[in-house]
Structure 1
Amino acid sequence: MNGSAMTSGARVTIVTRTKNRPIFLARALDDIFAQTFQDFELVIVNDGGNPADVDHLISQRSEAERSRVTTLHHAESAGMEGASNAGLKAGSGEFVVIHDDDDFWAPEFLARTVAYLDDPAHAAESGVMVRTEIVIEELVDGAIEPIRREIFWADMRQITLADMLKINRAVPISFLYRRNLHDHVGYYNENLPVVGDWEFHLRVLSHSRVGFLDGEPLAFWSQRPQSDGHHSNSIFAKVAEHAQYDALVRDDYLRDQAAQGGLGTMLYLTRVLSEQEELIVAQQRRLDESAAKLDHILERLEALSQTVVVRTSVGEFLKKPMLLMRKLLRRG
């Protein structure tokens, strides 16, 4: 690993993880230096990618901007969480945030989140997450083209451990937090190739509350379902791994709880949940059977209606000669 030193003293440390994606890193640099809040330092962690691409982009920034950047070049990839930890430990800001190379912010993201945590009313909160928008993108002839947008968890109004236990409700780009949080909950788990941010969020929310800034989106999560290779998202490229490590994280936490309090409560709750699943399956089976019967009845009714139409048509056809004969007889 090698890198350049930075001048300490900034209030916010921004960590940008990147690997062979200069087109996205260029946008990220523009985004970061366009923030209305400028009291930050930037640590770029080039996690096993080509150093020349990163160094070239940094060399194009102004001297004032370059003085606030530290670059860490990993000869080999340390993984997403290893890259996060390396970047965090290289900085010294009171607040920290992970800004991946392909995501971006509204210009006032840092100003709004720092102001929130500076407010004495939020002194007990370890960090703040913001309303986030998913931006579906494609790479077309070397350019980033937005396809559509949608709000991430549009129904979310607060950040709770109860919700986070079900599924990850936040992404790194949306979360600014106090550096001293790592003194209490540790750093990111480098044994997790995926879902590391979710597992970190679980530890954070087990320790303290996290605020939420609602309203217009301040963070934008870039997704590229059709991309592969370096330009892909792990959420699409590593679907199986996400499911695998989601299950392993849950199992690790269950194991820890079992070691502390035994299996009694978990065995009871597991049986209750199993009975509920059996009821749901039985209900679904009854619904399927009812639907099949209804389909059969509708098919018979449709067949019957077609028969009635045919019979009526034949009857009308047979009546016509009789009516004609009657008219002729009356004339005679």
Structure 2
Amino acid sequence: MPSRVGIVVRTRRRPDFLRRALADVAAQTFHDYRIVVVNDGGDPDEVEAIVAASDVRDAVQVQHIADGEGGRCVAANTGVRDAGTDLVVLHDDDDRWHPEFLARTVAWLDDHAHSPAVAVSTEIVYEEQRGGTWTEVGRAPFWAGMQRISLGEMMSVNRAVPISVLYRRSVHDEVGWYDETLDAVEDWDLYLRILRTGEIGFLPGEALAFWAQRPDATGLDANSMFALTEAHAVDDARVRDRALAEWVRREGPGLPLYMASLQAELKAHVDRRFEEVSAGLRHDLRSELDAHQPFWSRVRRLRRGLRRR
């Protein structure tokens, strides 16, 4: 019988993170899975050696993508296609799970046969390099208090990350694959397409997924949140423009034109109000300085008088 869950581990020249990811999967209480490690442009021998030394080596298939031919979306699509399982999840090499992540999400989808996916509460794990290793230095909730995956909120900003979402492989037959024209936000783009016709379930409460962030990291150690900041902004606009163009083709430009006008008026109002508040604060600050530092107040007045002559 084929495995129930396909775990796609995207990795790119980060051996320490790959070892950690495989150990993280090995710690799951649910074991009916198949792992596809997608080596996106790294040394094939190094990746194969790490897999061979792991506790999950018998469950791993490695796919190698030549340097320059991959990318986040290509790696994701390659792994999902190769997994051949009913359920899939992306486990990027630097992220982690609670040991019960698979057990609880699989059980939820079994109980909700018509739901295409389920997400879980997530914590951000901040890491710094200390003594040559990446060490956890703090945590913060990702969207604290969230109780559901809302299309309206998701249209504003992504509220789920790949490590937190288990979904049915059949989703790709219905809404398409990860968009390989994007360099970032490929998960958000997929979630929006899923939410057009269905709901993504949510398990609130205890965090079951841990999204690693390293704000000070550079190069290959950086995570996409910071390393791909510009790409995120460009692709975010691309996804929104594409959706807007689809609307205009179907409904015409009337409503978007009106909304754009309102947006411009609102921005102008906010800018004016900001300037008024800033001017008031500057005046209050000068008054406070004059009251407590009369000598410097006289100096400023003398300088202004000399400039006018």
- Identify whether the pair has TM-score above 0.5, normalized to the shorter chain: yes
Whole-Å Cα distance in 2 between the matches of residues 151 and 133 of structure 1?
4
Cα-to-partner distance string for 1:118-153 (whole Å, 9 max, x where unaligned)? 11xx33321111111111112334423111111111
Say which of 113, 119, 136 aligns to 1:129.
Answer: 119
Q: How many angstroms does 1:265 deviate by?
A: 0.8
> Is structure 2 residue 72 aligned with structure 1 residue 80?
yes
Cα-to-partner distance string for 1:310-330 (whole Å, 9 max, x where unaligned)? xxxxxxxxxxxxxxxxxxxxx
Q: Which amino acid aligns with 2:216?
A: Q
> Is structure 2 residue 139 aligned with structure 1 residue 149?
yes
> Is structure 2 residue 278 aligned with structure 1 residue 288?
yes
Q: How many angstroms does 1:196 deviate by?
A: 1.2
Whole-Å Cα distance in 2 between the matches of residues 301 and 139 of structure 1?
48
Q: Which amino acid aligns with 1:147?
A: V
Gaps of 5+ in 2: 298-309
> Is structure 2 residue 200 aligned with structure 1 residue 210?
yes
Whole-Å Cα distance in 1 between the matches of residues 42 and 128 of structure 2?
21
Q: Which residue is equivalent to 1:163?
A: 153
Q: How many angstroms does 1:305 deviate by?
A: 12
Q: How many angstroms does 1:78 deviate by?
A: 1.0
Whole-Å Cα distance in 2 between the matches of residues 297 and 212 of structure 1?
54
SS at match of 1:194: coil
Q: How many angstroms does 1:267 deviate by?
A: 0.7
Q: Which amino acid aligns with 2:116?
A: S
Q: Which residue is equivalent to 2:269?
A: 279
Q: Which amino acid aligns with 2:281?
A: A
SS at match of 1:125: coil
Percent identity among equivalent residues? 43
Q: Which amino acid aligns with 1:104?
A: R
Aligned residue-pair number = 296
Whole-Å Cα distance in 1 between the matches of residues 58 and 246 of structure 2?
45
> Is structure 2 residue 222 aligned with structure 1 residue 232?
yes
Whole-Å Cα distance in 2 between the matches of residues 123 and 160 of structure 1?
20
Q: Which residue is equivalent to 1:109?
A: 101
Say which of 3, 14, 18 aligns to 1:10.
Answer: 3
Whether contact under 8 Å (2:23, 2:54) holds in the other structure is: no
SS at match of 2:196: helix
CA distance 1:302–1:258, shift in 2 (3 Å): same
Cα-to-partner distance string for 1:153-194 (whole Å, 9 max, x where unaligned)? 113221111111111111100000111111111110011111
SS at match of 1:207: coil
Q: How does 1:316-331 map to 2 (within 5 A)?
A: none
Q: How many angstroms does 1:306 deviate by?
A: 12
SS at match of 1:159: coil
* TM, length-normalised to structure 2: 0.90
Cα-to-partner distance string for 1:78-103 (whole Å, 9 max, x where unaligned)? 10010000000001211110001111
Whole-Å Cα distance in 2 between the matches of residues 40 and 80 of structure 1?
22
Q: How many angstroms does 1:303 deviate by?
A: 5.0
Higher deviation after alignment, 240-249 or 47-56: 240-249
Whether contact under 8 Å (1:124, 1:209) holds in the other structure is: no
